[in-house]
Amino acid sequence: MDNCIFCKIVKGEIPSRKLYEDEQVVAFYDVAPAAPVHVLVIPKEHILESAREITGAYGALIAHIYEVIAKLADELGLTGGYRVVTNAGPDAGQTVMHLHFHLLGGKLGPMA
């Protein structure tokens, strides 16, 4: 989609620190980390704007994203656990309208 930052990252038009990529998803470090480890995992296709639109039709993709997150958490040494956040809509502070999941690790504070 034109004018979508994450679509541009997928296409390589905006540089990013990529950790993982396959046919369906890409994972890269957040440019403004909110935790010691802050990675974004996104579907390559601009299929949904936010988690609010997820239906059963996307079940396999969403499960795959969570599998990738768990694999990355292992590789990043997050043995004590991690947090997955997805902001949906303005009240949650969503700024990029391309479905994405934040993988947060390291010392985390309480949830807002």
Residues in contact with ligand 5GP by the rule CB under 6 A: 5, 14, 16, 28-32, 40, 87, 93-96
Report the C-alpha dihedral over residues 76, 74, 8, 61, rounded to 10 degrees: -170
| Nearest-approach distance from CB 65 to ligand 5GP, in angstroms | 14
6 binds Zn ion (CB under 5 A): yes
98 is a site residue for Zn ion (CB under 5 A): yes
Instruction: Considering only the stretches 4-12, 13-21, 28-36, 83-91, report the one whose residues sit in contact with Zn ion under the rule CB under 5 A.
Output: 4-12
CA distance 104 to 30: 10
**Count of other CB atoms within 10 angstroms of residue 91:** 7
